[in-house]
Structure formats: C-alpha cells, structure tokens
Structure 1
Amino acid sequence: MSRFQQRPPLEGLRREIARARKEKSAGTSGGFVRETYRLSRGEAREKAREWFSTWPKAAYWTEVESWRPLPDDQIEFTMRRLPTAD
C-alpha cells in the first residue's frame, strides 16, 4: 500500500463505539430519557401534551423524537427529554 492509500487511524472510532456500548449497557441514552408508545391518534396527541406539560420543552428539551403512522389510525412515537432540569 502506498502512503496515499493508507487507512485512517481507527482509534477514535474504537473509543466512540466502546463509549456508546458502555452507555447502552448502563441503561443511559446519551443523557436523555426516552419512551416509545403505540396509541390511537387522539391518545398520542394527549400523551405528547402530557409530556410537554409535565416536562416543559425549555427546561427539559422535551420533544417528539420520532413518529410513524400505523394501520388502524395508530401512531408509534418516541418522546425524549432530559432526566433533570438545571
């Protein structure tokens, strides 16, 4: 292999993978609390409102992280927030 075809060092990637695995095994998600629901459309709206009123967005960075419509007017969605507000 010539000097122009050398592979980049992978130590940084190895450290990042190890850190992510350690966090996952410790039960943390990058510092966020996540919860996934599968509810009817109306119930999903109500659950999201409940999260935003219990953990305000400005203090807890609360957000709907992902959502997808399912058959029979069901919505699967994940809510995310910080565990505490400083």
Structure 2
Amino acid sequence: MPRTPRDLASRMAEKRARHAMADGYVRETFVLPRWQARATARAFLDRFPKQAYMSEVERWRELPGDEIEFTMRRLPTSD
C-alpha cells in the first residue's frame, strides 16, 4: 500500500513502463517547432512505412511557442 503520493506515482510509472515494454512497440518522443515536427514525422513515416512497421503518431499536443510534443511508435522490425 503506498504511503505517500510520490509512492503511488512511482508505482504507477513502473506499471506503465512494464506495460510499454510488453506491447513490443518502439517509441520516440519529440518536442519541436511545428514546421520541424511535420518534417520529422514525415521522415519517420518514410523510413518506417506503416504497412511494414505499423508506424503512427501515437499522441501529440501543442505547447506554447508554436511547439509540438509528439510520440511516434513502430514495431522494431518488419516481417
């Protein structure tokens, strides 16, 4: 039983990390200006095509200063 909020947060983070590793996807997170985020996502999808690697933008959000934080995911190898 967690004793403090920090204990609970640590336990939840460990559980998320175990789950993330268990699903088999490789994830990369970026924080870039909008124009550079588009170019980076396009290059990622060109390098790891969706058909072979199941690549996609997993999540994204807009930050102040016209920056985008986004996570790309893909399978480690194609079949």
Unpaired runs of at least 5, structure 2: 1-13
TM-score with structure 1 length normalisation? 0.68
State the Cα RMSD in Å. 2.1
Write the deviation string for residues 12-47 of structure 1: whole angstroms up to 9, x where unpaired. xxxxxxxx95x729x725100001100000010011
Paired residues for 1:29-40 under 5 Å: 29-40=22-33
Determine helix, strand or coil for the equivalent of 2:51: helix
Distance of 1:57 and 1:41 partners within structure 2: 22
Match of 2:72 in 1: 79
Moved over 3 A (4+): none
Equivalent residues in 2 for 1:9-48 (5 A)?
21=15, 24=18, 28-48=21-41
Could you say which residue in structure 2 is the equivalent of 1:57? 50
Per the TM alignment, residue 82 of structure 1 is displaced from its structure 2 partner at its CA by 0.3
Q: How many residues matched?
A: 65
SS in 2 for 1:80: strand
The structure whose Rg is larger is 1
TM-score w.r.t. structure 2 length?
0.74
28-37 or 72-81, which deviates more: 28-37
Identity %: 52
